[in-house]
Structure 1
């Protein structure tokens, strides 16, 4: 980790990234069992087209500072599940069935896997693995049958599933240890050959015809949003100009490829204020949230909330409370979104039970989650998506809690996230009623 400006403290980076690295490494080596075929999909869903019972199936649009569906305001509660694009149909069914049972409306799932391994979607530049796309194809189909919407980022800032680093290695042939200060990583945003390759991948995904639905991805309203990236930042240019220029170019490109879907950047909401002592408000990561949201081809602003990982706790800063800080962070973005005339989605948020970081037990975590979701509801936020919903794996056990943020939907009294899952379910009903 790199030290924050003027300190000897390491720059905050979501600790779940490192923890997830072990999981994604094993995914890269694993085969993807196809527990179903397009012809068998109706059997897997028991012939139930729950999507028809959960509301209209038109495209979600952005207008007048709010999301809309079939002419009405669309507000939602949702979640994230990063592994759908590389797992079996059984595991995809398990997570998405749970999301639907909770009353959630939107699931954010990765649509990238760049680099080596037979499950990579893009194993080499301009080379796309048809067999590996099966899981993503099936996830889109399954979500549609359940009436869920999907948000699909197209590349990762982090090296999990290859990410921007994979593109840089492909075209610049740099060693793995040369990415620490961000300079080489950030060439992803400026090298013409890399930008051309990413544009081609975006075209491949958006124009892909799903064998389970018969629709191209860009024609399927199940896909609510295509995102430029997961948590992009450009540490080598504190002004924010490099990332802003790339986002302008790529959002315009993506909107042309998929004009009926929403486009979002997928960033964390860093404000980019020079000289600000508070890391997420500072210019350390080279992100200018308000200018990114204001781009013409960007339909809504995205916000992530990880006060523990960003040093916003009493353990790191005496007098700082993680729950209160997160509530203020959400409120600031909702207010700024209104001023910009764009909807705002708190698309990732999470806390770990850690007494040294203001959250001594699950009850304290759940109080924070209640405060944050209440802030979105009362503040007019378009939606929120907790990190992370997981469910059963192929042997019937539950997906491991790699990063301390796991939420599971089951009534087993031993489930430590049972209460949190129930509060998210209740919040989903409140968001739907508030439309």
Structure 2
């Protein structure tokens, strides 16, 4: 499972909820800029390394990042969720959901500082490109999770690939499929919000920057439209980044990529809601070279990227405030 935490929201606040295609906190619109740090669980188990978790959350909060997402599972080994390929231990789901926080004394399922759970990271089934196999799994697991914890939002953490349900949408896939169906599976009633990812440098290798960015903008717009009109659920741009391993990489190129993504997220959120925010992949602490995947951003070492991220945080916060009336409820402006 993946855990999506609110990095800076007080414990006394209520749970994040949805209404139609909006995220709400205490009845008011909730918009955010966030980050991925999948490695938190692995580092936190080592007492000598835990300071890195603290440093990342401190730096992220300073940059206005309100939501942090990490992984709460492992494959193989001690207390693994996936004990062997395709074999899962349901008790691990229950242990995560019911675990008592040693600091606060609150069970995770009762903790409002957790925004949402996600069933898996990037589910794929390349022996069934229709998406029906993954869809069946979600139909089984989503009610199971909700039976243990019905307070938190639940997502899937899909990348956004289209399957059989709406044939003309397949044109937006990056030239291949992974056995998921963005529309059908996100329509499962226990799923509260949709997600997409985009790694155009990896998905469209050999294409120039303009072509990759054009794809990404079409990808985001098509999923925003489907989330608003068909799903009627909020959307999170849950992973995006530019790798140092890509041809022509530079920090300025990465900053330009992030700025373009952020501008698209902001403009779509301003037009009519639906998209709640984005989570950049990925933020790391100093001294974590063994975890580097090419997409890492160390905020303390990358002032220009930190500035781009902080500007987006400020814009999303200002937009959230503009959507709220003095009474703290959604104002009267039209929403889709």
TM-score, normalised on structure 1? 0.64
* Matches of 1:249 and 1:335, distance apart in 2: 27
Match of 1:327 in 2: 217
Which residue, 120, 125, 132 being the options, matches 1:234? 125
Match of 1:250 in 2: 141
Structure 2: runs of 5+ lacking an equivalent: 1-6, 44-48, 270-274, 321-336
Match of 2:292 in 1: 402
Kindly indicate whether structure 1 or structure 2 has the higher relative contact order, using CA contacts under 8 Å at least 6 residues apart: 2
* Matches of 1:314 and 1:86, distance apart in 2: 35
Q: Deviation at 1:360?
A: 4.0
Match of 1:303 in 2: 196
Q: Deviation at 1:353?
A: 4.0
* Matches of 2:310 and 2:155, distance apart in 1: 25
Task: Answer yes or no: is the 8 Å Cα contact 2:32–2:277 preserved in 1.
Answer: yes
Deviates more, 1:83-92 or 1:71-80: 83-92
Task: Answer yes or no: is the 8 Å Cα contact 2:9–2:66 preserved in 1.
Answer: no
- Give the SS at the match of 1:205: helix
Task: Answer yes or no: is the 8 Å Cα contact 2:124–2:178 preserved in 1.
Answer: yes
- Give the SS at the match of 2:200: coil
Structure 1: runs of 5+ lacking an equivalent: 1-48, 124-154, 156-163, 169-187, 189-193
Pair 1:382 & 2:265 matched: no
Structure 1 residue runs of 4 or more that deviate by more than 3 Å after TM superposition: 49-52, 273-282, 353-356, 397-401
* Matches of 2:291 and 2:120, distance apart in 1: 24
* Matches of 1:424 and 1:384, distance apart in 2: 11
* Matches of 1:271 and 1:320, distance apart in 2: 23
Equivalent residue runs for 1:213-224 within 5 Å: 213-224=104-115
- Bigger Rg over Cα: 1
Aligned-residue RMSD, C-alpha: 2.4
- Give the SS at the match of 1:434: helix
Q: Deviation at 1:215?
A: 0.8
Match of 1:113 in 2: 74
- Give the SS at the match of 2:305: helix
* Matches of 2:106 and 2:233, distance apart in 1: 29
Task: Answer yes or no: is the 8 Å Cα contact 2:8–2:67 preserved in 1.
Answer: no
Count of aligned residue pairs for this structure pair: 300
Q: Deviation at 1:240?
A: 1.0
* Matches of 1:224 and 1:261, distance apart in 2: 7
Equivalent residue runs for 1:146-157 within 5 Å: none
Q: Deviations over 1:35-81 (max 9, x none)?
A: xxxxxxxxxxxxxx9744xx962110111111100110101110001
Of Structure 1 and Structure 2, the greater strand share is in 2
Equivalent residue runs for 1:338-349 within 5 Å: 338-339=228-229, 340-349=231-240
Q: Deviation at 1:260?
A: 0.7
Q: Deviation at 1:115?
A: 2.2
* Matches of 1:365 and 1:336, distance apart in 2: 28
TM-score, normalised on structure 2? 0.82
Match of 1:45 in 2: none
